[in-house]
Amino acid sequence: MKAIVIDQYGDKDELKEKELPKPEPGADELLIEVHAAAVNPIDWKLRYGYLKEKLPFDFPIVLGWDASGIVKETGKDVSSFEKGDRVFVRPELTNRGTYAEYTTAREDLVARMPDNIDFKEAAAVPLAGLTAYQCLADVGKLVSGSKVLIHAGAGGVGSFAIQIAKNLGAYVATTGSTKNVEFLKSLGADEVIDYTKDDFSEVLEDYDFVLDSLGGEIQEKSFNILKQGGMLVSIVEEPDQEKADKMGVTAELHWLIPDGEELAALAGMMKNETLKPVVGSVFPFSEQGLKDAHELSETHHARGKIIIEIRT
């Protein structure tokens, strides 16, 4: 099968097309014919070697951990899916990711695609959608009426988080640039802080929850808008626990946990049209296509999700 791999760590030019054997599903796995994949920051962070201690993979590495496609084979212990099902998944982190014509995934990590969503939209969901859902629902335990700030609302995680927070009944503020203000309101944001004009930490106060996808100075300032007993969850770097304790708030780093049941919950929201994946850019399944997609992701200014169309 065709795959785009890296044989060593480095810049985007390390992405190379290679023929690899089609994977065989294990007893509890599905073989999925991949129709679309997505590019996420973890892809290029791993490509550069930033995560090699946390994820010490052998080369060649197939990057990519979002996929949508059709079940081609099922392992002998699989009972929930059958050949021909349209599915989407955030598989386990291994060196055989989803920049490939086929991938395997454990049955318990896979969910069926709703009929009203296409393959490109479905591939946009797993990593970013599950990250947003887990931060808000599992870690943050948001309840109706909570006041929530979501940083970088136009990005992959942010665009899901705004919609999921509204599904949970929250009041949602978000940050974005001038060009994205109307877009962010269309996702359901109650308040949009244009970071080119205003400092969110001088505008907002008494918030219950902050979802931090930027880190650094933005994370530091975010503590100042939380009420006593509030929570900050970061998806990029460990928050300052000393500062959190001093201010009477909770702060933690969340690393996504693949989960087919939670993916099915997101599928239910999409079926009910209360959650809409935002496909920002679509690139072809080629060396150059992946290089261009990584370059865009590294700008941190992509709107919505970056998709690789593997089968048209």
Kindly list the structural domains of the chain, giving each domain's residue range(s) and its CATH number in brackets, ordered by start: 2-125+277-309 (3.90.180.10), 128-253 (3.40.50.720)
**Is 161 a residue whose pLDDT tops 90?**
yes
Instruction: Tell me what pLDDT residue 302 has.
Output: 87
pLDDT digits (tens, 9 = 90+) for 290-305: 999 999 999 988 889 9
Contacts of 230 (CB under 8 A, 6+ apart): 207, 208, 209, 210, 249, 250
User: What is the number of helices (H) and of strands (E) in the chain?
Assistant: 10, 16
Contacts of 125 (CB under 8 A, 6+ apart): 66, 88, 160, 263, 266, 270, 277
213 in Cβ contact with 235 (< 8 Å): yes
pTM for this entry: 0.95
Calculate the average pLDDT of the chain: 97
Query: What average pLDDT score do residues 166-173 get?
Result: 97
**Is 274 a residue whose pLDDT tops 90?**
yes
Provide the greatest CA pair distance for the chain.
58
CA–CA separation, 245 and 232 (whole Å) = 12
64 in Cβ contact with 37 (< 8 Å): yes
Question: Up-side HSE of residue 22: CA atoms within 13 Å toward CB?
Answer: 11
102 phi and psi, to 5 degrees?
-140, 150
